[in-house]
Structure 1
Amino acid sequence: MSDTIDKAQIQSELILEYQIRQATHKISLPTRTHCIDCDEPIALLRQQKVAGCQRCVACQTQFETQKVRG
C-alpha cells in the first residue's frame, strides 16, 4: 500500500514542479493545435491556459506517468 502512496506522491510532485515551471518561465515552444504524440486536436481551452502545450491531456498524463515509473 505504501508503494502506491509513494508513487502517487511522486506523481503529484512532478505535476506541481511542471506547473510551477510553466508559470514562472517563458515558454519558448509555441502552443500546438494538435498533439505531438497522437496528432489529435488539443482542446482550445488547454491551448489558452497552458502556454506552449505540446500534448493533449490524455497524452500529457501518460507522459508524466511514464516519467514517474522511470
Structure 2
Amino acid sequence: MTDFYDRAQEREQRIRDEALARQAAASRAQGPSLTHCDDCGDEIPPLRREKVPGCTRCVPCQSAREQLRR
C-alpha cells in the first residue's frame, strides 16, 4: 500500500528525471560534426564524427575543456 510520502517521492523523482533529460537534450550539439577541431585545427577522426553528432573539438581539446569546467 502506498501512502502520501511514497507518491510524493515518486512524483519528485519523475520531475527530476524529466528535467535532467531536457537538460541533456538541450546541451547536445546539433547539426553535422566538423572535420577539423575548432581549438587546435587537427582533424577529427571520421569515426568520432559519426558517433558524436555535432562535435566541434578533437578528444584532447574536449577533455581539456571539460577539465577546466570542473
- Shorter-chain TM-score tier: 0.5 to 0.7
Counterpart position of 2:47: 45
- Structure 1 residues not aligned, in runs of 5+: 1-16
Alignment of 1:18-57 (within 5 A): 21=24, 24=25, 27-57=29-59
Which runs of at least 4 in structure 1 moved beyond 6 Å after TM superposition? Answer: none
The one of the two structures with greater contact order (alpha-carbon pairs below 8 A, sep at least 6) is 1
- CA-based RMSD of the aligned residues comes to 2.3
Question: Which of the two has higher C-alpha Rg?
Answer: 2
Paired-residue identity, %: 40
Alpha-carbon distance between aligned partners in 2 of 1:27 and 1:60, rounded to the nearest angstrom: 13
Alpha-carbon distance between aligned partners in 2 of 1:52 and 1:29, rounded to the nearest angstrom: 5
Counterpart position of 2:8: none
- The size of the alignment, in residue pairs, is 48
What amino acid does structure 1 have at the position aligned with 2:57? R
What amino acid does structure 1 have at the position aligned with 2:33? T
- Structure 2 residues not aligned, in runs of 5+: 1-19
